Amino acid sequence: MNEHPAAPQGDPTHDALHAAPTEQIDVRTGEMAGRGHDPAGRPTTRTSSGHVIEDGPDGPGPAPYVTVVLPCFNEGAHVLQEIDRVSAVLEASELTYELLCIDDASTDDTLEVLRGAQQRYPHVRVLPFRRNGGSGTARRIGTQQARGEIVVWTDADMTYENERIPELVRILRDDPTYDQVVGARTTEEGTHKWARVPAKWLIRKIAEWLTKTRIPDLNSGLRAFRREVSLPYLRLLPAGFSCVTTITIAFLSNQHDIRYVETTYAKRAGVSKFHFVSDAYRYILQVLRMVMYFDPLKVLMPPALWLVAIGLVKAVVDMVRHPFYFPASTVLLVVSGIMIASLALLSDLVVRSRDGV
């Protein structure tokens, strides 16, 4: 074993070294807390996950009760109107709030408009993305970085009744039995209305059948929920529009009560980012994926039992027509049903053995 030799007693060099005064290190508390300034001199907060949020001149202020997450992508022409609308209604209420505006790598002047709004609206915070991640990514990260107990999702396209945000929040505040309140739209004003209405109806009916719950509006973008309840489900959110569908099904599948409040839906300002064919396909996949995540037997066992039943009936018919002869199609039906049923049972076992949600 190698050891450092002990300094001889009375060594003047050793004594002088340890007697030297210790230099004081200047530590700035704000930097240790993640506070700083960007190159333009704006106050910023660096979160534990590495995201940099730009604050107004007075900083983020005390933690609010409500955080409104507002994803923005090329909404520069009207996002200021939306900020004014949300801020006005919340200022008139008794609720403390912050408005977390997320610029999803816009190619227009959206980010400049948001930064300018910080000078007029002290509760506005800006989280700029350098790469476009989609509305689901913006909402997920915004919810993770929210400081409010209640998180509100809405859009910056002037479609939703944002004047009713305090109403949604008060329902959660006054009734602890609900974990989410959704603004259920009574009209459809989106693009491709002729195709969106039947497609949304079909997807909603599939979700209702799978969750055994009536869902007036499966993919409304206006909703308020308890942040603490939502945190375990955020990792399930996809990057696109179906994130709202995901959080609805996640809450319902795990026995969190949702209340629906009827709202109107206005014509969109600007250009829609919704692509009917690809986004509708993703909606259907996401509904099936979420129910598979929570209750795979409900998705896999019905087709498995039908295949086995059809195969057995066909086997009886084959036996009558050609004794002791079973065509390959009959065997394939039965074996396919048994394989899917086995997969369903194995998936259910995995779900039940999983820790957490």
pLDDT tens across 13-27, in order? 545 444 444 444 333
**pTM, rounded to two decimals:** 0.78
Q: Helix, strand, coil % (nearest 5) of the chain?
A: 45, 15, 40
SS3 for 111-148, per residue?
HHHHHHHCCCCCCEEEEECCCCCCHHHHHHHHHHHCCC
User: Residue 29: is its pLDDT beyond 50?
Assistant: no
Mark 217-254 as b/e (b = at least 16 C-beta within 10 Å): bbbbbbbbbbbeebeebbebbbbbbbbbbbbbbbbbbe
The more confidently predicted of residues 256 and 15 is 256
Average pLDDT of the residues in 90-98: 97
First-last CA distance in the chain: 52
Instruction: Work out the percent of the chain whose per-residue pLDDT is above 90.
Output: 53
User: Residue 190: is its pLDDT beyond 60?
Assistant: no
Average pLDDT of the residues in 338-352: 93
* pLDDT one-digit tens code per residue, 44-93: 888 777 888 998 887 888 999 999 999 999 999 999 999 999 999 999 99
User: Residue 320: is its pLDDT beyond 60?
Assistant: yes
Residue 137: per-residue pLDDT: 94
Instruction: Work out the percent of the chain whose per-residue pLDDT is above 70.
Output: 82
Both structure tokens of 148? 């409010």
